[in-house]
Amino acid sequence: MESISDSRTSAMCDAESPSIAEKVRCLSTPDAYAHAPASVIVLETHMSYVFLAGDKVYKLKKPVRYPFLDFSTIKAREENCREEVRLNRRLAADIYLGVVPLTYSASHRLALCGDGEAVDWLVAMRRLPREAMLDRLIAEDRLTGAQMEALCDTLAEFYRHAERSSINPEDYAQRFCREQEKNRDILTRRDFALDHGRTPVLLDLLDARLAASRTQLQARALDGHVVDGHGDLRPEHICLRDPIAIFDCLEFNAELRQVDPFDELAYLGVECALIGAKRLGAELVDKVAQRLSCEPPRRLVLLYAAWRAALRARQSVAHLLDDAPREPAKWEPLAARYLDLAQVALADSA
């Protein structure tokens, strides 16, 4: 594999760089890589291009700017790549290899770790076996009890040693309300094909539960239960090989990573329920709680699940606000399924 650079800097401004299309075109070919993969599979996400190159994976950040992140400059993308590697090594130490430059030579040739100026940066990773991902194991009904126990061991150990957050208790509680206001703004827009009889009622109930739980939420922060967590704990980010690798954490917004572990586990439970494992979330919460010698309030965990499901519903339809949304037919049905899960969690907590 090409050498991993940790100190190289770029003097070239983005205006002089090759376009993102040129970079993607270069990185889509096997001869761009020193280890000469037989083929390259290109995946596009909301914020990145991912290149599956044989037994390696490379992630190129898009030069985008949103209210919650700014990847519009080479420097910002480099810093984010380095932060992604640092944070993800907490739960996938041997997977994240480092950060590599994409260079542009005087002869106008793009290359990974070449001789020219760095015009972008990529996260380099080992490729994980798809068949060992938690979402695949759930879909194929192959998740074993031993794998479940090992996952709970890993998560409990992570949360036991995670950096404690210094977030103000009032700010922690208020964050749920701020996000809920955004949920309401997006999910009640009439241009989305959602059930506009059900949705406001569900959001009103969630508002009421958040208000009633405000003191309990503040206590979670006051008592030191909020940590610098993973931030995007989904089954497709968990590989149940040995050792377990949990990757692709939320690196671009430190505030959103400040979580109660049982909020994060409730989120994972919502995502597992979405793909058919409806009871897995409760099992995860119970087993991790046992390992941490604590008992989180059941109604609070269900509130976390309802709030996460509503948030995911909002994030789903928000894709349709992009100028050119990917897979436009996907998002409204997906949002409706998340709202179903929010409704179930609220009913269970009654």
Query: CA separation (Å) from 326 to 57, 210, 321?
Result: 22, 33, 11
Give the Cα separation of 85 and 152 in Å (integer). Answer: 23
Pairing of strands 56-61, 245-246: unpaired
Closest C-alpha to 91, from 149, 158, 147: 158
What is residue 13's predicted lDDT score, i.e. its pLDDT? 41
pLDDT for 139 equals 97
Q: CB–CB of 336/194 below 8 Å?
A: yes
The pLDDT tens digits of the residues spanning 83-105 come to 999 999 999 999 999 999 999 99
CA angle 233, 285, 158 (to 5 degrees): 55
**Percent with pLDDT over 70 in the chain:** 95
Give how far Cα 254 sits from Cα of 113, 304, 314, Å.
29, 19, 21
pLDDT given at position 188? 97
Query: How confident is the model at residue 14, as a pLDDT?
Result: 44
d(CA 239, CA 241) in angstroms, rounded, equals 6
- Mean pLDDT to the nearest integer, 301-321: 97
Structure tokens at 275: 């793909």
pLDDT at 67: 83
The whole-chain average pLDDT of the chain stands at: 94
DSSP string, 86-124: HHHTTT-TTTEEEEEEEEE-TTS-EEET-SSEEEEEEEE
Residue 52 CB contacts under 8 Å (≥ 6 apart), including other chains: 40, 41, 42, 43, 127
Q: How many residues are present in the chain?
A: 350
Predicted local confidence at residue 64, as pLDDT: 92
Give start and end residues of each alpha helix (H) in the chain: 20-27, 74-88, 134-139, 145-161, 169-187, 198-212, 214-222, 261-274, 280-291, 298-318, 328-348
Residues 121-168: tens digit of each pLDDT? 999 999 999 999 999 999 999 999 999 999 999 999 999 999 999 999
Can you tell me the distance from the alpha carbon of 42 to that of 27, in angstroms, rounded to the nearest whole number?
9
What domains can you pick out in the chain, each with its CATH number?
14-127 (3.30.200), 134-348 (3.90.1200.10)
| Per-residue pLDDT tens digits for 6-35 | 333 333 444 467 999 999 999 999 999 999
pTM: 0.91
**CB 27, CB 51: distance < 8 Å:** yes
Written as one letter, the residue type at 86 is R
Q: What is the pLDDT of residue 1?
A: 38
Q: Count the alpha carbons within 13 Å of 350 in the hemisphere toward its beta carbon.
A: 8
Yes or no: say if 225 and 193 are a contact pair by the CB < 8 Å rule.
no
